[in-house]
Chains A and B, each alone.
Chain A
């Protein structure tokens, strides 16, 4: 057995991450918790089950948001195991049509959501914009670039419209994921970038963990990969943002983006930026920080769109239940998904866009 897939043998009868299993929470269904998915996969391997509509529905219900592993004392790579099993299913020609077509779009265009525009400029600092940022959430990209400019940096946007490999890998197409990862590295090298700021946690997770662990790709040593939010948090004194006057209590809730649990270092940075942008600490969701739940922005939007929508709705409900009148988030991918699903007229504001409004006029 592929060694990563071996994780299912540990997870199939383990219930220890159930309390942070996002899909389990919205469906209340044992079969789509980490334990249930691993059990179905393990039973398929023992010949007790075959891949059919029912069992594939379970296999494709895992969102690859990292909650199970983030709470696993023995660090079982269950999401990677599920991606590897999906790859076997795809090889056998059994992947659902929506999965196949999402993959084909990426294989053909390098983008699931629009087009990819290779970078042409050169520089030391780069901002990895990604697929969703470029194609669906440009205002967040623009705000991030302006903030970086205000920090005195000349930053080259790269990866504009480019999938980082995360989506195809999670869909079960490691070869395509490999090609995408290589393309990301080539573009960064071609543009001479040595300090790569990354806008979306999804891409950051791909660069820092997934490429190495699931695709056996190592980034060049001379490129430093930096979470944009960490960088901006360190620049707060230089930015001299003007806090909004008279705000003592906030009605804005911060939503930790999808994959945040995989990048725990960013929790405090995000909140410190919220505080300067909003004038006081944001409201906290119940599902926050190390127990933050994803929205449906991962490959689940293609594998089980029904579940993806409900994941996003659940985050909106969490905010409403906490008394929030608006939501703030830094990640273009999460923001786009929240905006797409909101039916409550909740104001969904980009953190970087909000910060931009606080810049002193001369910046």
Chain B
């Protein structure tokens, strides 16, 4: 925006009128803190001492009505509005690439209702994931969306990029758990979606907001499905000599509907590096953690049947301890200095497709990245962690330990690697993303991803947000 003179002050005073002075900030330190989310690029940019694009205002509304009024101000001045939950997104979805208003939702953190009969919770979108989980745990319940970012992400941030948690294989993605939402449209109109998602009263328009990452409006409240905390969680680890066998074993477990809550299959490179570093096991092959939960007798039987399948592939049963160790330490991977960290260059090129394509896709992407960036000594690792009846997600990562020092050169290399990886994914029938969302990072691939269907999405965007104020530059939509 970079205005001078009267206009910025006019906007500020209008925003202040809506939310109060304490909840509008143009403070230097605050603007810096909202200049980067968890995307490698802006973090690297800052790390190398480069000036980031900062928001012009940070606004913390308390209600859907306040958000509605803020959006009306933004429309009058044609200012970008960027919804911000926990800023833990890895795709640059919450970055203020054109400046404007960062709309931090965290003041909207009330639990409206826990319905112990229907097993639902209704909460405001800015509530922290872990706090919501603790609250429902007190009633013997759980929200079965367990992303590694629960400590920092918000409910709105779970839904807006269609997140997936560790136990999704049994319980579904965040989007499968939502019954109802309240949304503020870009023009300020506040709506509620129907009371339940499964019905036959017309099309599922509520799904438009799942995956729109703030480009179609702001989610302000959601009703989520809960489950009883399980009586038991049975975990164990097995080791396959061959990744192909391991994927096939996973497929058979899923298509027989044995309902594991987790199948986490590390490729041999990940087994040798990440599993060794965090869990301390030195193993060769493909390490798989398998979990069943719920009533003990049922979980035990499901596990026995899954082990029959696994034994058929000659995999080594490592027993319960390494499975439980993984469960207990599963988020330790994300604490620095154990996590991937600067000055390294890294990216998670996770994708999803059907069982008939997944292996070919994985090897094609691996080959393209490893061969394309040999001179950078690139490392390519992956694990298969969210399994469906029809296919599986592969969470692949590239790591360059000695990237260019120059920030601009680093940006170029980073984007080249992504182009290579996404080209391999798209050419092999994969989706550019399974759970982190699109954000800024994958925005440029959206037309290729959707082909003929893209103009429909584009038309929807233009009709909902004619002034293009909502999160411009993301999800394939320009300014």
Contacts and interface: CB of A to CB of B under 8 A. Distances in A.
B104 interface: yes
B89 to A, nearest CB: 11
B332 interface: yes
B25 interface: yes
Interface in A187-222: none
Nearest to B336: A10
Interface stretch (A54-62, A87-95, A327-335): A54-62
Contacts of A54: 27-30
A355 interface: no
Contacts of B341: 10, 13
B283 interface: no
B25 A19 contact: no
Given A48-B46, A286-B134, A58 B29 contact: yes
Nearest to B153: A15
Given A13-B38, A28-B107, A30-B87, A74 B32 contact: no
A16 interface: yes
Contact of A30 (B34, B335, B342): B34
A131 B95 CA distance: 47
A291 B107 CA distance: 20
A43 B46 contact: yes
A19 B151 contact: yes
Contacts of B383: none
B306 to A, nearest CB: 30
B106 A57 contact: no
B336 A31 contact: no
A10 B87 contact: no
A286 B43 CA distance: 34
A40 B29 contact: yes
A46 B28 CA distance: 16
B109 to A, nearest CB: 8
A19 B29 contact: no
Given A13-B341, A30-B104, A49 B335 contact: no
A39 B126 CA distance: 22
B32 A49 contact: yes
Interface residues of B, number: 45
Contacts of B128: 18-19
A348 interface: no
A288 to B, nearest CB: 10
Nearest to B129: A19
What is the size category of the interface that chain A forms with chain B? 20 to 34
Contacts of A133: none
A52 B104 CA distance: 24
Interface secondary structure of B, over-half rule: loop
B193 interface: no
Interface string A69-100: 00111101000000000000000000000000
A47 B50 CA distance: 10
Interface in A1-58: 10-11, 13-19, 28-31, 35-36, 39-40, 43, 46-49, 52, 54-55, 57-58
Interface in B59-95: 60, 86-88
- Could you say which of B29, B30, B339 has the most chain A C-beta atoms within 10 Å of its C-beta? B29
A19 B130 contact: yes
Contacts of B60: 28-29
Interface in B1-40: 25, 27-30, 32-34, 36, 38
Given A19-B128, A74-B337, A13 B342 contact: yes
B32 A43 contact: yes
Interface in B128-178: 128-131, 134-135, 149-152
B32 A39 contact: yes
A17 B109 CA distance: 18
Contacts of B150: 19
Contacts of A16: 151-152, 331, 334-335
B33 A40 contact: yes
B460 interface: no
- Could you say which of A14, A36, A57 has the most chain B C-beta atoms within 10 Å of its C-beta? A14
A49 B29 contact: yes
A36 B33 CA distance: 6
Given A28-B106, A52-B28, A55-B29, A19 B336 contact: no
Contacts of B332: 73
Contacts of A10: 336-337, 341
Contacts of A57: 27, 29
A46 B49 contact: yes
Nearest to B130: A19
A13 B43 contact: yes
A29 B31 CA distance: 11
Given A31-B33, A40-B29, A72-B335, A15 B46 contact: no
Contacts of B339: 14
A46 B339 CA distance: 22
B62 to A, nearest CB: 10
A286 B342 CA distance: 36
A16 B60 CA distance: 22
B255 interface: no
A326 B331 CA distance: 38
- Could you say which of A35, A47, A54, A72 has the most chain B C-beta atoms within 10 Å of its C-beta? A54
Given A40-B33, A49-B29, A291-B134, 19 more contacts: A10-B337, A10-B341, A14-B339, A15-B87, A16-B335, A18-B86, A28-B109, A28-B126, A29-B60, A30-B30, A31-B30, A31-B32, A39-B46, A43-B46, A47-B49, A54-B27, A54-B28, A71-B151, A286-B135
Interface of A: 10-11, 13-19, 28-31, 35-36, 39-40, 43, 46-49, 52, 54-55, 57-58, 71-74, 76, 286, 291
29 contacts: A13-B36, A13-B38, A13-B341, A14-B334, A15-B86, A16-B335, A19-B129, A19-B150, A28-B60, A28-B109, A29-B30, A29-B33, A30-B87, A31-B29, A31-B34, A36-B29, A36-B33, A39-B33, A40-B29, A40-B33, A46-B47, A57-B27, A57-B29, A72-B335, A73-B335, A74-B335, A74-B336, A286-B134, A291-B134
